[in-house]
Amino acid sequence: MTPEWVKDAVFYQIFPDRFRIGEGPPANPAPVHSGFEAWDAKPTLRGFKGGNLWGVIEKLDYIQEQGFNALYLCPIFSSTANHRYHTSDYFQVDPVLGGNTALHRLVEEAHQRDIRVVLDGVFNHCGRAHFAFQHLLENEAASPYRDWFHVYRFPLNAYSKHANYAAWWNNPELPKFNTANPECREYLLSVAEYWFKYGIDGWRLDVPNEIDDDNFWREFRRRVKAQNPQAYIVGEIWDDASRWLQGDQFDAVMNYPLGRAILGLVGGDTLDKDLAARSGLGRLESLGAMACNNRLEDLFGRYDWEAVTSQMNIMTSHDTPRIFSILRGSIERVQLAFAMLFTLPGVPTVYYGDEVGMAGGHDPDNRRGMLWDEALWQKPLMRTLQQMSSLRQSLPVLRYGRYHYLYGQDGHLAFARTHGQCSVVVTINASPESWRIDIPLHGVWPRGEQAVDLLSGKAGRCVGGYLEDGILEPFSLAVWQTQEQD
């Protein structure tokens, strides 16, 4: 079974170096460094801006007010990179981020607000500064850590373009672990266990497909669930994840295919396809309603329903351009995309800054310092996210309900979510023209019921098995529920 709390979650993804510079408590103030880039300056590949976990703590109330109740933090362990995927010490939160004390305080403060905390686990590779790789670099064949890595020959040439060892995407900065080695394997699994002492709620797994060993991930699950049976294990798998979602490895994956379907329908001709194509999103296509529905139904049919309702549904992240840029600054389309995200099966996930309308192209531009000038925030977008999160929390059917297609033509899509005796109908107008709704209900509701859009308060009618009379404005969405007639 997947963790029960996840189905009720709305995730907020934070890139710690770029979220906020916090001061820290007087007894343990955040370090002051002169080498940080200016917060508002264009980010560079190597530069640090100085965001830390104290800054996240200071903004937990903001996070909660926006409707988020779960955090997914990009890597936080000691590293020589601003993104911290170059881990040097897996048992030490980077001192620049506030160290282990800051994480302990963050988890405590988050849990007091009923906010969960999931860490990013980078177990396929480490950085060159990792103790085992440094030992190997100094001692070569004499090192007891030789078999922790995939060495081709000596010298390692660790600082050349063509290193003599396996590395992630042949990047010498990221030597790949040999997880077949029992000692290396035990070391990584002990890392996964260790941080539950701090009360974390799960792991997001970086490139888990590159550890091509199902037994490793089965053991990982056993060890993690022994620490916390309600821990969330979510893998970074960009496409079909059937292999990992059989109940013995991951609870869920980052559901980029669902995000691509939403962007395809909502974006239409506005999509910046070239921008997306040069990123992890790959080729984005403009989709009509039927094509979008077909993709969604395919996704919902691939996995057990437990996994479907636990998927980390995501449109953009630190690995993609920002949604505001992909949709070329069309705030109404961005609003509709997020509204749709909250009505589909799975767990909505929002990348920091997307809630205020931040722009951003390819890495590192998509990792700008968080925009804290409220005068520059897209307030309508923020209200949409708050409203959709509140609606999702108030309606169990939006968290647990099955998906049933009702209607699709051009930019008009309608579906029902059904859970037990409760059903709602979602209508989406992804076109620039108003849509007078007249859609078949296929037995979702009895005939003669009155209906109301829970977002706008507008009324509709159920006549002869059809929902009619509701007017949907361009690039908008309605969530219909029946009302008993007087």
Question: Per-residue pLDDT for 28 more than 90?
Answer: no
pLDDT above 60 (res 282)? yes
Q: List the catalytic residue out of 236, 319, 355, 453.
A: 236
By percentage, how much of the chain surpasses pLDDT 90?
Answer: 91
Q: Which domain holds residue 463?
A: 401-483
Same domain assignment for residues 279 and 354? yes
User: What is the pLDDT confidence band of residue 1, given thresholds at 50, 70 and 90?
Assistant: confident
Q: How far apart are CA 343 and CA 278, in angstroms?
A: 29
Are 380 and 443 within one domain?
A: no
pLDDT at residue 316, as a whole number: 97
Q: Is residue 134 part of a domain?
A: no
Q: Are residues 339 and 454 in the same domain?
A: no
197 and 290 assigned to the same domain? yes
For residues 362 and 447, state if they share a domain.
Answer: no
pLDDT score of 485 more than 60: no
Both tokens of residue 231? Answer: 């821990």
**CA 143 to CA 130: how far, in whole Å?**
14
In a domain, 167, yes or no: no
Query: Would you give the DSSP letter of residue 345?
Result: S
Which of helix, strand or coil describes residue 21?
Answer: coil
Looking up tokens 């049933």, which residue turns up?
404
Q: Are 8 and 393 in contact (CB under 8 A)?
A: yes
Angle at 219 between CA 214 and CA 221, to 5 degrees: 95
Residues 294 and 429 occupy one common structural domain:
no
Q: Which of 206, 251, 355, 453 is catalytic?
A: 206
Confidence of residue 486 (pLDDT cuts 50, 70, 90): very low
pLDDT at 320 over 80: yes
Q: Could you read off the pLDDT of 88-146 as tens digits, one per residue?
A: 999 999 999 999 999 999 999 999 999 999 999 999 999 999 999 999 999 999 999 99
Catalytic status, residue 373 = no
The dihedral through the CA atoms of 415, 260, 396, 388 has a sign that is negative
pLDDT in the model for residue 484: 60
Q: Which of 394, 423, 443 is the last residue of a domain?
A: 394
Q: Which of 394, 421, 448 is the last residue of a domain?
A: 394
Amino acid, res. 232 = Y
pLDDT at 280: 75
135 in Cβ contact with 128 (< 8 Å): no
Q: What values do phi and psi take at 408, rounded to 5?
A: -155, 125
Q: What is the mean pLDDT of residues 387-402?
A: 98
CATH of the domain at 238: 3.20.20.80
Task: Enumerate residues 6+ apart whose C-beta is below 8 A from 368.
Answer: 18, 42, 43, 353, 358, 360
Q: Domain check: are 341 and 359 in the same one? A: yes
**Alpha-carbon dihedral sign for residues 119, 123, 127, 129:** positive
Structure tokens at 391: 């609606």
Q: Of 355, 378, 394, which one is at a domain's C-terminal end?
A: 394
C-alpha angle 309-358-45 in degrees, rounded to nearest 5: 95
DSSP one-letter string for 109-154 = HHHHTT-EEEEEE--SB--TTSHHHHHHHHHGGG-TTGGGB-B-SS
Does 414 lie in the same domain as 273?
no
Residue 396: partners with Cβ closer than 8 Å, 6 or more residues away? 419, 422
Question: How many helices (DSSP H) and strands (DSSP E) are in the chain?
Answer: 14, 18
Adjacent-strand bridge partners of 447: none
> Could you give the C-alpha distances from 411 to 286, 302, 341, in angstroms and in order?
10, 25, 16
Please report whether residue 459 resides in a domain.
Answer: yes
- Taking the C-alpha atoms of residue 262 and residue 301, their distance in angstroms, rounded to an integer, is 17
Q: pLDDT tens digits, residue range 335-352?
A: 999 999 999 999 999 999
| Number of domains observed in the structure of the chain | 2
Computed over every residue of the chain, the mean pLDDT equals: 95
- Residues 324, 184: one domain? yes
315 shares its domain with 429: no
Grade residue 9 by pLDDT with cuts at 50, 70 and 90.
very high
| Gyration radius of the chain's alpha carbons | 23
Q: Please give the DSSP secondary-structure letter assigned to residue 158.
A: T
Axis-axis angle for helices 256-267, 289-302 (nearest 10): 170
484 is catalytic: no
